[in-house]
Amino acid sequence: MSTRRNFLKTGLLGAGALALGSPRLLAAKGDTPPTRFVFVHKGNGLFPQAVVPPTFTDEQKALEQKKEAFTVDLDGHDLPEWMSPLAPHVENLTILQGLSGKMCTTGHHTWCSSLGVYKANERLSSIKWATVDFELAKLFPSPFGHIEFACFPNGGGNSRGNVNGIEKGFSARGPQQPNYAFGSPKVAMQELFQSVSEDEAARARYQLERKMLEFVANNESGTAGGLAGTERVKVANYADAVQDIRERNRRVEAMSAVIRANMPTLDEKYFADDLNTVDRQNGFTEILLSTLISGMTNVVAFTVDELGTTYTGLPEIEGSNVNLHDVGHGKPVGSFQATDVRKKVRNQHMSVIDTIVSRLKSVPEGTGTMFDNTVLMYFPDNGETHHSKGGEWPFLVLAGDNTKIDLRRRYVRLPAHGREGHKTLGNWYTTFLNAYGNQVEHYGALDTALVHDQKGPITEFLG
C-alpha cells in the first residue's frame, strides 16, 4: 500500500518535489568526479541491420548475417548515413549487437521493462524493483538523484494524452514506485529552476511552497507524537519526506549561483504548448545539459519518442504528423518510404546525442572534460522491430576516457540468443553495476528459455 511518504517522494510535484534539486559542488582539486549516465531510448524498435557499418568486408557481413560473435575496430569504417552526426565521436562510440530481453514485455510497448529487465505494464503492481538508472544514481549520489524527460505519446500510454505535464515516466524508483517525467521544456523549466528564476511570480511561488512545507513538517511531526503503531510510522514517514524536500531547498539556496550560471537560455518557441516533436527534443536537450553541468543530477533518462508519439518537425516533412505506428507497418509519409522516415527519426536522435556529447566535451573537469566521466546509451524501448520479440536489443554507447567499461571505438556482435555465451540486458546492466561498486550477482529477471548459466556481468567489458 502506498504511504503518504511514498506519495511525497513521487507525486508531490506541485509542491516542489521535482523543483528542489540543488547543484553539485564543483569538485575540489584532486577529487574524483562522479560518473554520469544518460539513457536515451526510442520507440518503434531498432533494426539490428540498421546499425551495421556499410564498409564491412564480405566476411564481416557474413558473420553479422549469421549472428556469429565477432569484434571490429571502427577505425577506418564509415557509419550508417543516419548516424553521421556521431562521426566526430567515433573514438568514444561502440555499436553493441546481440543482447536479448525476452524476460521483458515486448511487442509495441515495454513501459519500464527495458530499464528494469522484467515484464511490466501500466499497472503499478507490475513494477518489481528499481530500474537500472535509479540503481546507478544511488552509486553517484546527487542532490536531485535522477531526472527524467519524455516526449510522451499523444493518445494513451503513460501520459494519457497530457503530453505537456508531469506524468508517470519510463523509469521506476522501486517496487510499485513509478518515476515521474517532465513532458515539456516549459514545465521542466518551471519546476527545476523556479528558485533562481528571474520571474518574480515564480520566485514568489517557490517561497510560498517553502512556507507550506515548513508548516506541514511541523504539523505532521506533532501529530505523530499522539499516535501509536502503524499510524505513527506512516505519519512520521510523511514528515520525514517533507523534511527531505526542505533539506533540498536549503541546498538549492546555498548553491543558487551555480544553478543560475548554468540555466539554459531557451527561445520563446520552446515554451509553446503546441511544440513540434523536434523542438521538444531540442529544448529538453538544453535542460538536460544544464542539470548535468550544474550538478543537479548525475543520471538522466530521456525518452525521445514512444510508439504513440505523433512526430512533427522532421526535415522535408515538417508539416506532416508522422504516425510511428503506421511507419512501423510500412506506411510511407509523403514521398518518403517508411524506411526513409525511420532514418529521419533516428538522424534527429543522433543530432540530439551529438549536442549532448559535444557540449560535455567542452566543459572542463579535473584534467579533462565532463564527457571523460560520462556514459550515454541509445537503445530501443522495445527491442529489434515494431512488433518486437526481444531476441535482440541493439545499443549505441558513447563513453568517456575515464569510464570503467572497456567499449570505445568498437563494433561488438555477441552470440545470438540460445547460443553458448549469449548475453541479456540483465548481464549488460549487471556489468555497469558491478564496475561501479554494486556487486549484485545479477540484475534483472532471468530468461527461462536459456539453459546456460546467464547470471553475472559481461566480464570482457570490465577490462
**CATH code assigned at 92:** 3.40.720
User: Would residue 289 count as lying in a domain?
Assistant: yes
Collect all residues with Cβ–Cβ distance below 8 Å to 332 and sequence separation of at least 6.
338, 341
Residue 411 near residue 77, CB atoms below 8 Å: yes
Rg, the chain, Cα only: 22
Mean pLDDT in consecutive groups of 10 residues from the start of the chain, 463 residues = 38 36 40 95 96 98 97 96 98 97 93 96 93 97 90 77 89 91 93 69 54 51 52 54 62 74 92 94 98 94 94 94 94 96 98 98 96 98 93 97 90 96 98 98 96 94 87
In a domain? residue 19: no
Q: Of 145, 144, 143, which Cα lies nearest the Cα of 131? A: 145
Q: What is the pLDDT of residue 244?
A: 60
Q: Give, for 229, the enclosing helix (H) or strand (E).
A: helix 229-254
Give residue 289's domain range.
32-184+273-461
Q: How high is the pLDDT of residue 395?
A: 98
Q: What is the pLDDT at residue 10?
A: 39
Q: What is the rounded (10 degree) CA torsion for 122, 126, 129, 130?
A: 0
Distance (Å) of CA 153 to CA 18, 161, 169, 368:
21, 7, 11, 39
From the list 381, 306, 376, the residue with the least C-alpha distance to 153 is 306
Q: Is 455 helix (H, G, I), strand (E, B) or coil?
A: coil
Distance CA 353, CA 346 (A): 11
C-alpha cell at 93: 562510440
Residue 194 confidence (pLDDT): 75
Give the model's pLDDT for residue 246.
64
In angstroms, the CA 26 to CA 258 distance is 9
Considering the domain boundaries, does residue 192 fall inside one?
no
Q: What angle do CA 72, 46, 455 make, to 5 degrees?
A: 65
pLDDT at position 408 is 81
In whole angstroms, what is the distance from residue 393 CA to residue 416 CA? 11
pTM, 2 dp: 0.87
pLDDT value for 5: 36
- Residue 268 counted as domain residue: no
Please report whether residue 128 resides in a domain.
yes
The total number of structural domains in the chain stands at 1
